[in-house]
Amino acid sequence: MELFVIRLLVKQVTSSHEEAEILRRENEALKTNAADKEERAKAVLKNARQRILQLQEAKNALARQLNEAEQTKGTCSFTLCFGIWLSVTMPIVAI
């Protein structure tokens, strides 16, 4: 009877160790996955910030062009002024 109880306890301990190892591996995989996702999110945010800065610089350049065109000609042609005005005043909807 004692031998049976000992074997049963050994089996339970072995099973617990195996389960703990499986859980450790799963935990490591989740940590790695979370770190990868965090790095990708950081890269997306960095790219979005760069794109916003590029678009703001382009908007500022167009505003300067409009200002220069108005100063050089007194008034710029309707097509040129309207095109520049649209590109400066339209909201940026896509990044």
Would you say residue 85 lies in a domain?
yes
Domain containing 37 equals 2-89
> Measured between alpha carbons, how far is 47 from 55 in angstroms, rounded to an integer?
12
CB 85 within 8 A of CB 59: no
Number of domains in the chain: 1
Environment class of residue 84 by beta-carbon count within 10 Å: exposed (0-12), middle (13-18) or buried (19+)?
A: buried
Question: What amino acid is encoded at 48 in this protein?
Answer: A
Would you say residue 94 lies in a domain?
no
> Measured between alpha carbons, how far is 58 from 53 in angstroms, rounded to an integer?
9
Work out the pLDDT band at 71, boundaries 50, 70, 90. Answer: confident
Would you say residue 70 lies in a domain?
yes
Would you say residue 95 lies in a domain?
no
Would you say residue 12 lies in a domain?
yes
Work out the pLDDT band at 14, boundaries 50, 70, 90. Answer: very high
Global pTM value: 0.56
Q: Which two tokens stand for residue 32?
A: 């790695």
Work out the pLDDT band at 6, boundaries 50, 70, 90. Answer: very high
Would you say residue 30 lies in a domain?
yes
